[in-house]
Amino acid sequence: MVDEKSPSVVGLNHGRMLHLHVNEARRLAHRLLADCMTIRPVELMGDAIEPFFDDLFNFAFHARRITELTDIGSKDEIDKENVFNHHGVEDASSYKYEEILNYIMHCRSISIGLSDWMGNKRWINSKQEKILSFIKIETDWRSKEIFYVFPLVSHFLHNILPKIAEPKPLKTMIH
């Protein structure tokens, strides 16, 4: 049992918690943007999917905690102009920022949609070149819903982060 009056008890205040979530969400958002803009040979796509999902789930957790701690973005809609309308890709189920984060956090199953790269061939020996484009999510309360990752993380970087005041210098609370 820890004595509350002991100087060995260290905690994190609200500003420090926010700082941790902001830093991690920003780092993951940049990785996800890079993943969504990378043209890959279909033969190597399998190597990219698991790390992509790891980053997506962790990003959703941290981005959602930022919204919970600050209420920033809770009513935001993602700009539909940021959606890459790739060949044969359906319209998104929602463009509400917080709703998409909640779907990711509560998904029962998730799959990734790959779009054909329509530009010049980048990988000479590849049969096809693909881009990680969208995700299909199934939750307990909804069947397959489609969301686009690029506009989600782009919205975070361009609309959420600028609204967050720089946190105070790192401090811990010592009781």
pLDDT at position 168:
46
pLDDT at position 90:
57
Q: Which residues contact 140 (CB under 8 A, 6 or more apart)?
A: 106, 108
Burial of 30 (0-12, 13-18, 19+ CB in 10 A): middle
pLDDT at position 25:
96
DSSP code string of 149-166: HHHHHHHIIIIIGGGSPP
Pair of tokens at residue 86: 């790739």
pTM over 0.85: no
pLDDT at position 175:
43
- What are the tens digits of pLDDT across the range 135-156? 888 988 877 888 888 889 999 9
pLDDT at position 170:
44
pLDDT along the chain (175 residues), means of 10: 56 78 96 91 86 95 92 78 52 75 91 84 82 86 82 91 66 44
pLDDT at position 45:
84
State the sign of the Cα–Cα–Cα–Cα dihedral 24, 26, 31, 32.
positive
Distance of CA 171 to the CA centre of its chain: 27
Beta bridge partners of 147: 135
